[in-house]
Each structure stands twice: as structure tokens, then as C-alpha cells.
Chains A and B, each alone.
Chain A
Amino acid sequence: MITNKKPRSSDTDSIYMKDDRTEMSEDDDRSPSPNSITHDSRPTRTYTTGSGPGTGPGSSSVPEYLAPCPDQVLENVLENVLLFLTSRKDRNAASLVCRSWYRVEALTRSDLFIGNCYAVSPKRATSRFTRIRSVTLKGRPRFADFNLMPPNWGAHLAPWVSAMALTYPWLEKVHLKRMSVTDDDLALLAESFSGFKELVLVCCDGFGTSGLAIVASRCRQLKVLDLIESEVSDDDVDWISYFPDTGTCLESLIFDCVECPIDFDALERLVANSPSLKKLRLNRHVSMGQLHRLMAQAPRLTHLGTGSFSPSEDVGQGEQGPDYVSAFAACKSIVCLSGFREIIPDYLPAINPVCANLTSLNFSYANVSAEHLKPIISNCHKLQIFWVLDSICDEGLQAVAATCKELRELRVFPFEAREDIEGPVSEVGLQAVSEGCRKLQSILYFCQRMTNAAVVAMSKNCPDLVVFRLCIMGRHRPDHVTGEPMDEGFGAIVMNCKKLTRLAVSGLLTDRAFAYIGKYGKIVRTLSVAFAGDSDMGLKYVLEGCPRLQKLEIRDSPFGDAALLSGLHHYYNMRFLWMSACNLSNQGCQQIAQALPRLVVEVIKHEDNLDMDENVDTLYMYRSLEGPRDDVPRFVSIL
């Protein structure tokens, strides 16, 4: 019964929320989440159960029910024990022990995590795991966010929701990232799951306010409706008014990305009727006056997205405007603030009463200067997460460094995302942050100029770094003081930051940088490369040196077929590989496809270049149990 295979620790992410998060991280209660568990889709798993390649895992279940009693008792005990296993890694390991454990684990798993919606089919997943309450699905690769993929590539929710409608009547939670979701999908979801509680859509598209209206009206148990950086089409439906008038159990309503105006009266009624509401993030069509009224209805909010943070235009200077400071003072529980979509900086001091308690602050849509920021940030001693625009300049970052000693995550976005301008933040800001915020774990920093020295300093000052993403916006830009490539800086990061699992590199980089990554980046799981490297050796270093690598995305770098082939030993352990505008040929990709039958090798052409020439525009490949998908658009060919 017991196979000889050691349970390999899952190569997939242990907890999805810590990886690739676009939304602000929630406070302690979210991470580590007890409910995020993966369905490990490594193709080799079908072999470990001894069923052979032809049969699926489900086929072995029938004979087991005829097993004699003692085994049944054992299974019952096992079931009760395995119920306590929550982490994906543990569950995947347990399922490899033997068939009995495999089956019982499948029965007791309640959270299904699918890191790549094409790695496994809905049918296979729903056959194996029959008692799922929560599903997490991720679709498109990340580089699709930057228009590097033509639209309509895939990642449709439809087949999943159809399958789940049949097999998971008790489904409560659906978390989607980069999936295409239609209004029909939302309708089916709303109709099929009577106890549905939580819908989180991150970077999704394909649906509109009519779909939201259906969810609002049908899902009577809905606690969470979070729309984060998703594209929502305006169907002229007042979706907010579709929530029941009698009251809701809403705990979280996040719709700051919804670009359509909403009916404020309906929203005010909704907030008044939702006594459990803790998280509310408004879109930019909500003015300050309206915000004030909502805050009066919901003083127990913990997370607030402030909408536009500017008055509607008919408020004159002379009028006695509402007392915003008191409004914020009354909301004593606020720990997370965001929004400020159209901020009038004069009003910023209104948030002062809550600054001392803030753990998370998102100014990344607010064009505030250092001068505006300083009085606010000087009160934010507990701040752990800070997202901001580079309009605060190095000076603003220095102020952050001076006060925010507890800072764990910093993201500095560019107000002007161009390559040919001076840029308000630089190595000065980075250095200051590294000196002031020693507990930093995650940083995303866009800048126009940088030095190796500052990056090295950060590598030494911030040993807890898990995520280091530096984007020097000028392509191939060297250290602007020494003129050297940025190799040494990134080398120091991988060398000194022993906990680093995610890295994004930029600036002028030679193969040397990749040699460093291959040598020291032993636990790196996600690597993003753009406009870097000299030759195939760069990619080879990484593929040969980084055993934990799962997600590799590369664009516009001179890596060719030889480099691609050097990773054959590793591709089954990866979630995906993306290479666009590199030196790959069809022949090279074909070789990979032939050598690794369980890999789906997609060659994506740009729509104006559909003739088969030898050069590959974009390669996107991933392991899958299903082989080529059947919803391939015409610009994708699967080798």
C-alpha cells in the first residue's frame, strides 16, 4: 500500500496570498490563511499512485470501498486527523503517503488552490476533491497585465463554474486572479451556491455591473465582495441598489476599481443596513461629503478606501463644510486607509486622528508632495505597509524612513511612467529607507536612476527581505554614479538576503548578475527579467542554479534555444515560464515540447504577424495534466 516515493515538498506556493499580491495585505488575520491550500498539479503525481498514465486518480476509488473493516476504522481515524491539516504543502505531502491517505486527504480538503487554471481540468479537480468550500483560481500570466499578450487569450471561468455548480453545492468562497469572468458566469455562480459567502476578483475582466447586480441580489449570505484592480464594464445598472433592503451580512465591500458612478443614496442605505461591515473601499465617484456621511454610518470600519477625497464642486469656500477631522476621530478602529483618488491636499490633515493606529496606508493614486506627506507620515509610527507615488520625492522617503520603523512593505509607483525624464526618486530614497526601515520584507521601487551602492546597502540593512523588485525605468541604464552595470547590487541582494524568494531585476545587467542569482538565489521562486543579460549563459545560470524556481518571466533579453534547453530538468517543477522578444526559434521550442510531454508549450504570435516564421514572439509554457487546451485562440499555437 505504501509507495516508496518520499513526499516531496510542494514546489508550488505554500500560501497564495503572500505571493503576487496586488491588494493591500490585510492584517494578521489573513496571513497565513488557514484556508489556502493547493492542489498540486505536478504531472508526476498520476504515476505515484500507481494507477499508470492512462487512468486518472479518481479511478482507483471504487475498489477501496470493498475494503474490510479494520481499514475502514483506520480511515475514519485518518479522516478526523487530516481535517486538521490546513497548509497546502502538508496536504500534498500527506496525499502521497499511500492510496488510503490520498483518498482521505481528498475527502477532507476544503480549500482548492489552482495556481494555473490550465494545469488541471475542472472535471479532474472536482472528481478528486468532492467537499470543497473554497476555490482559488489563477489564470493569465502576470506579463499579460502589461499588454504583452493579445486579449482573449483564455483563462475563462465558465468551464470551472459549470463544473463546480454540479459538484460543489456548498461552495462558499471563490477567489480569482487574472481570469476572464462573464456576467453569465456570475449569474450561474449566484444561482448555484445558496451559501455563497465570498467573492474576490483580482485583475479580472469580462464582466460588468449587471453581473454584480445579480450577485448582490441573489447571494443572500454574501460577506465579502472584493473587486481589486479589475475591469468592470458599465452596463448602466445601479448594482449597489440590488443588495437587499432588509439588511446584509457584508463584512467587506471593495469596489475602488469600478469606474462607473454609483447611486449614493443606495450606497448609504446599504452601509446603514450592513452592521458587520468592516472593510469599505469606495470608488472615485464618492466625494468627501459623501464619505463623511458614510463614515457616520459605519464607525467600526477597520479598512477604509476614501474615494476621491475631494469635495464635490458645489461646495463653496464659505460654506461650513463637514468636520472631517471629527469623522476620522470617530472611526477609532481604522487601521488601513486607501483611496485618495482625486485628492485635494488641503484636506489631507483630516486623517490625522487615525494615523497613530494605521498599519497600512495606500497613497498610490494620490499626487502628494513631500511637503504634504511629512506632517501626516510623522504620526504613522505603526505603519507596516505603505504604497505611494514618487511625487513624494527622495525627501518624502526620508521622512518615511525617519518615522516608520515597523515598515514591512513599501511600494513606490511612478507618477509618470516614462523613461526619458529626471525622476523624483533615486538611490537617495532607497538608501534612506534601508537605513530607517530595518524590518523591511518587501519592496517595489520604480525610479529613473540608481546606484549599486544603495542596493548593496539595502541588502545589508534589511536582512529580512523576501521580495525585492527594483524597476529602473530607463532600459539598460547603468549605475548613474559609476557607470557600471547593476550586477553587483543585485548580486548583493541574492547573497545577503537569505530569505529572498521573489526578485525583479532591471537596469544594465550582464550575465554576471545571473551568475550571482544562480549561485546565491537558492530559494528564489519568482524571477522577473527585462532587457537584461548578454548571452545564453545568463539564463543557464539561473535554470541550473535555482532549484526552487517556479515562475520565470523574461522579456527582451538575448536568451536563445540553447539556454531554453538547459532547463529541461526543471520545467516540470515550475508553474510557468514566459519568454517574449528573446532569441527563441520554433525549432527550439519544438524540442522542449517533444522532450516534455506533460508541458504545454504555447507560442503566442502577435495578431498582425500570424505567418509561421522561425522566430518566436512569445513563449508561454506550463505543466499540465490535460495536454493542449481546447479554447486556444487563433494567435496561439501549441507545439
Chain B
Amino acid sequence: MERSMAYERDLNLKATELRLGLPGSDEPEKPSTTPSVRSNKRASPEISEESRSKGSSCVSSKVESGERDSAPPAKEQVVGWPPIRSYRKNCLRAKKNDQVDGAGMYVKVSVDGAPYLRKIDLKVYKSYPELLETLENMFKLTIGEYSEKEGYNGSDFAPTYEDKDGDWMLVGDVPWDMFISSCKRLRIMKGSEARGLSC
């Protein structure tokens, strides 16, 4: 039993380990797991999770999805279970990484001239007005009215965001859902730079 518990500790370390591999790619080492498995063959089904590590199911038991790095897995993930083809899993995992998930979608917010940055959870907001109002409150500034032609009128500030391609875009041009999925960080520009955007 100790071996499988050691394995579980192992797994938790693995779950929080920083590495360059793609999430869910094969763990390089699996040596300690299999021998312990041999002694765990059960005659009757057990519901407890510890004894799940048996046979091929615990060999290369991988953390199934990247987003779980933040919390230790409640149950050990078993190879090939649930039976979803890796192609499908990979497609959906990419989606999950791109968009809001259970852990929230925190992005950095910088304001020109402010001494430090803040972080907000984009998932909490449903629309641009909500987001802008929060930013105004957080940084004690006024952002002004959005117009398609002129950007943000009536203030020295203009909210911008960095998208997936690394470009700085004006907040408000694209539909909210698209904004959420492409926004990597926010920057509220001030002064002449900002005014330049709104002429």
C-alpha cells in the first residue's frame, strides 16, 4: 500500500510541477508504480480510490488536462478513462485553455502612471460596460464613452488589450465573447497616446 501512496504523492507533485511539456503528454518515468500494482489485485470491486492504481491503469497515469495544475486531483486520473480519443480530448483541451473555465480567467491590468498592476477575473463580467465600470472604480479614473468612429471620448484614458497575436487593440471593437477568448492582458493608456487613439 505504501508504494501506491508514494505514487499518489508522486502524482500530486507531478500535477503541480512546472515543465515545458504539453499538458497531458506522457510522464517520462513510471518505474515505481507497476510492481506495487501486482499485489493489489482484488477479488471484489472496491470503491476506494487508492486501489484503483492497478495494472496498466496506473502506468503513465497522466494528468489529463493542463488546467488542473492549480489543484491536486481529487481522484487519480487513469490511463484511457473515460474512453475518449486523444484527438477529441486535445481539441477540447485547447478550447478550455483558451476560454474561461472553473478557475476564472485572470488577466493583468496596467494603467499608465500607476505604480503597480492589478489582476481581474474577466469571467465575472458579462459585457463591456460592466468591465469598464469596474476598471473605473478600481483605478479611480474615467474612461468615457465608446464610439466606433472615435474610440473613447471624453477622457484622457483609453482601455486597450493585448490579443493572441500580440497586438494592442482597443477594447470594445469585437463581440464580448471574442474579446474574452482573445484578451491576454489589459492596459489603460493615458494622455497623448490615448488621445491619439480617439481622433
Q: Is the CB of B82 within 8 A of A531?
A: no
**What residue in chain A is nearest B89 (Cβ atoms)?**
A417
> Once bound together, how far apart are the Cα atoms of A317 and B173, in whole Å?
5
| A418 within 8 A of partner (CB) | yes
**Residues of chain A with a CB closer than 8 A to B77's CB:** 418-419
| A54 within 8 A of partner (CB) | no
**Residues of chain A with a CB closer than 8 A to B57's CB:** 555-556, 581
Nearest CB in chain A: distance from B141 CB, A: 24
Q: Is the CB of B74 within 8 A of A318?
A: no
- Say yes or no: A419-B82 contact (C-beta < 8 A), given A342-B95, A580-B56, A581-B57: yes
> Once bound together, how far apart are the Cα atoms of A327 and B84, in whole Å?
34
**What residue in chain B is nearest A608 (Cβ atoms)?**
B30
Q: Is the CB of A531 within 8 A of B59?
A: no
Chain A proximity mask over B44-59: 1 for CB below 8 Å, otherwise 0:
1111000010111101
- Say yes or no: A558-B44 contact (C-beta < 8 A), given A229-B85, A365-B92, A615-B38: yes
**Residues of chain A with a CB closer than 8 A to B20's CB:** none
B81's contact among A146, A315, A342, A606, by CB below 8 Å, is which? A146
B85-116 residues at the A interface, CB under 8 angstroms? 85-89, 91-92, 95-96, 99
**What residue in chain A is nearest B101 (Cβ atoms)?**
A416
**What residue in chain B is nearest A534 (Cβ atoms)?**
B44
Comparing B9-17, B152-160, B174-182, B185-193, the segment that makes contact with chain A is B174-182
Q: Is the CB of B56 within 8 A of A313?
A: no
| A143 within 8 A of partner (CB) | yes
| B148 within 8 A of partner (CB) | yes
Nearest CB in chain B: distance from A73 CB, A: 54
| A132 within 8 A of partner (CB) | no
| B42 within 8 A of partner (CB) | yes
- Say yes or no: A143-B80 contact (C-beta < 8 A), given A417-B89, A535-B43, A617-B55: yes
Q: Is the CB of A316 within 8 A of B75?
A: no
| A341 within 8 A of partner (CB) | yes
Q: Is the CB of A530 within 8 A of B173?
A: no
Q: Is the CB of A313 within 8 A of B45?
A: no
**Residues of chain A with a CB closer than 8 A to B91's CB:** 284, 341, 365
A42-57 residues at the B interface, CB under 8 angstroms? none
> Once bound together, how far apart are the Cα atoms of A193 and B113, in whole Å?
70
Chain A proximity mask over B7-34: 1 for CB below 8 Å, otherwise 0:
0000000000000000000000011001
| A98 within 8 A of partner (CB) | no
**What residue in chain A is nearest B73 (Cβ atoms)?**
A420
**Residues of chain B with a CB closer than 8 A to A284's CB:** 91
**Residues of chain B with a CB closer than 8 A to A471's CB:** 82-83
Q: Is the CB of B42 within 8 A of A558?
A: yes
| B123 within 8 A of partner (CB) | no
Q: Is the CB of B55 within 8 A of A556?
A: yes
Q: Is the CB of B82 within 8 A of A618?
A: no
> Once bound together, how far apart are the Cα atoms of A17 and B15, in whole Å?
41
Interface size on B, residues (CB 8 A): 52
A522-574 residues at the B interface, CB under 8 angstroms? 530-535, 555-556, 558
**Residues of chain B with a CB closer than 8 A to A490's CB:** none
A320-378 residues at the B interface, CB under 8 angstroms? 341-342, 344-346, 364-365, 367
Nearest CB in chain B: distance from A232 CB, A: 11
A346's contact among B41, B148, B177, by CB below 8 Å, is which? B177
> Once bound together, how far apart are the Cα atoms of A581 and B96, in whole Å?
31
> Once bound together, how far apart are the Cα atoms of A475 and B182, in whole Å?
36
**Residues of chain B with a CB closer than 8 A to A203's CB:** 85
- Say yes or no: A581-B64 contact (C-beta < 8 A), given A417-B84, A530-B83: no
- Say yes or no: A556-B54 contact (C-beta < 8 A), given A317-B174, A417-B89, A419-B75: yes
> Once bound together, how far apart are the Cα atoms of A311 and B177, in whole Å?
12
Q: Is the CB of B82 within 8 A of A414?
A: yes
**Residues of chain B with a CB closer than 8 A to A147's CB:** 60, 79-80, 86
A417's contact among B31, B64, B173, B178, by CB below 8 Å, is which? B64
Chain B proximity mask over A9-30: 1 for CB below 8 Å, otherwise 0:
0000000000000000000000
> Once bound together, how far apart are the Cα atoms of A533 and B44, in whole Å?
8
> Once bound together, how far apart are the Cα atoms of A346 and B81, in whole Å?
33
> Once bound together, how far apart are the Cα atoms of A89 and B191, in whole Å?
80
Nearest CB in chain A: distance from B88 CB, A: 7
A581's contact among B44, B55, B89, B178, by CB below 8 Å, is which? B55
Nearest CB in chain A: distance from B73 CB, A: 7
A344's contact among B47, B92, B175, by CB below 8 Å, is which? B175
**Residues of chain B with a CB closer than 8 A to A510's CB:** 45
| A386 within 8 A of partner (CB) | no
Q: Is the CB of A344 within 8 A of B178?
A: yes
Nearest CB in chain B: distance from A184 CB, A: 24
| B78 within 8 A of partner (CB) | yes
**What residue in chain A is nearest B48 (Cβ atoms)?**
A476
Chain A CB count within 10 A is highest, among B52, B59, B83, B86, for: B83
Binding site for A on B (CB under 8 A): 30-31, 34, 38, 41-47, 52, 54-57, 59-60, 64-65, 73-75, 77-89, 91-92, 95-96, 99, 148, 163-165, 172-175, 177-178, 182
Further 20 A-B residue pairs, CB within 8 A, beyond A147-B60, A344-B178: A146-B83, A147-B79, A313-B182, A317-B174, A341-B91, A344-B175, A365-B95, A367-B95, A413-B84, A416-B96, A418-B65, A473-B82, A532-B45, A555-B56, A556-B54, A556-B55, A558-B42, A609-B34, A609-B59, A618-B56
16 contacts between A and B (CB under 8 A): A143-B83, A147-B60, A313-B178, A344-B175, A344-B177, A416-B92, A417-B84, A419-B81, A420-B74, A446-B82, A535-B43, A556-B54, A581-B56, A582-B55, A583-B41, A615-B41
The 5 tightest CB contacts between A and B, nearest first, are A581-B55, A146-B80, A420-B74, A473-B82, A318-B148
Binding site for B on A (CB under 8 A): 143, 145-148, 203, 229, 231, 257, 284, 310-311, 313, 315-318, 341-342, 344-346, 364-365, 367, 389, 413-420, 446, 471, 473, 475-476, 508, 510, 530-535, 555-556, 558, 580-583, 606, 608-609, 613, 615, 617-618
